Structure 1
Amino acid sequence: MENRFPGHRHDRSPADPAPRQTAEHDRELAMAEMYAECGLLRELAESVDVRLDDTVDSLTALDQLLPRWRDDPQVSQWLGTDAGLYLGTVIRRQVPDARWQLAADGRPLMVLGTGFELDATAIGRDWAEQGAPQLAAVYRAASDG
């Protein structure tokens, strides 16, 4: 009787990693699109004629706003989160190889091409509550590598 089992096939190449990389890329694009919305920040910016055009100039304009939102801690926290997401959006769109990634606890992190991670929402909340660090300064540091 003939054995039809061909044995182990060592000539097979490993599974193609492209589908996994494509899925990760698609997920990062979806995160980037969602994070770019920043509804409360865009509403505030529009009310004071600041144009959010994903440039360092728009970050500088935000840094120069009078912080009237600090009177309401809840608004300050939400606005800070939006400011951090907007900062990350500008970095992602302007700094080569920057990308969004979720931390183990679900926080959105901006990962630079060097591997350095920025907790964008924490930076934004500090900016909204204390005025520091300035958003434009964080962008400049990120763009310098």
Structure 2
Amino acid sequence: MEIPFLDKWRKRRDSADGVAVFPEGDDGPAGYAELLAECELLRSLAQREGFPLDDTAATLEALDQLVPRWRDDEELLPWLGNDAGLYLGTVIVRTVPGAVWRILSDGRPVVRLASGREIDVVADGQAWAASGVPELSQVYAEVAEA
């Protein structure tokens, strides 16, 4: 995928485990949640596959059923994994009572459950994109039961 400003940015970094961009202004947690929910690359992929992402658990199941053509693209893989993790987090925050985004001191976004447990959704998304395990719907089911 050729995006000039991203290509230049990538050349300056050795690798990216996940990317978090912080909004300016006084939007606070709502601003973070809105920004983290964008997941533009994943939403575009889902749309091309015939289903829009509507921030529900059902779409996590649909994503788990996709044929993982992206695994052959070493450039696309980490970005799609990042989006998958952020989307998983978005679904959790919007549907699991008490779940909120938390930005760690190193800039990584995690989802904090009402129990205090923190879920590194970006790591789960990266693993899903690379190998299919864990399935996004499984992570959601585990979190929703807690």
TM-score relative to the length of structure 2: 0.80
Q: Residues 1-80 of structure 1: matches in 2 within 5 Å? A: 26-80=27-81
Return 5+ residue gaps in structure 2 as ranges: 1-25
* Offset from partner CA, 1:15-45 (integer Å, 9 cap, x none): xxxxxxxxxx941111100011000001100
Paired amino acid for 1:47: R
Runs of 4+ in 1 over 4 A off after TM superposition: none
Q: 2: CA distance between counterparts of 1:28 and 1:139?
A: 21
Paired amino acid for 1:75: L
The CA deviation at 1:55 is 1.0
CA RMSD of aligned residues (A): 1.1
Paired amino acid for 1:116: R
Q: 2: CA distance between counterparts of 1:44 and 1:113?
A: 32
Give the % identical residues.
Answer: 51
Q: Residues 91-106 of structure 1: matches in 2 within 5 Å? A: 91-106=92-107
* Cα pair 1:102 1:108 within 8 Å, conserved: yes
The CA deviation at 1:51 is 2.2
Return 5+ residue gaps in structure 1 as ranges: 1-24
Q: 2: CA distance between counterparts of 1:73 and 1:112?
A: 32
Paired amino acid for 2:77: S
Q: Tell me the equivalent position of 1:113.
A: 114
Q: 2: CA distance between counterparts of 1:50 and 1:80?
A: 18
Matched, 1:83 2:84: yes
Instruction: Give the structure with higher Rg (CA).
Output: 1
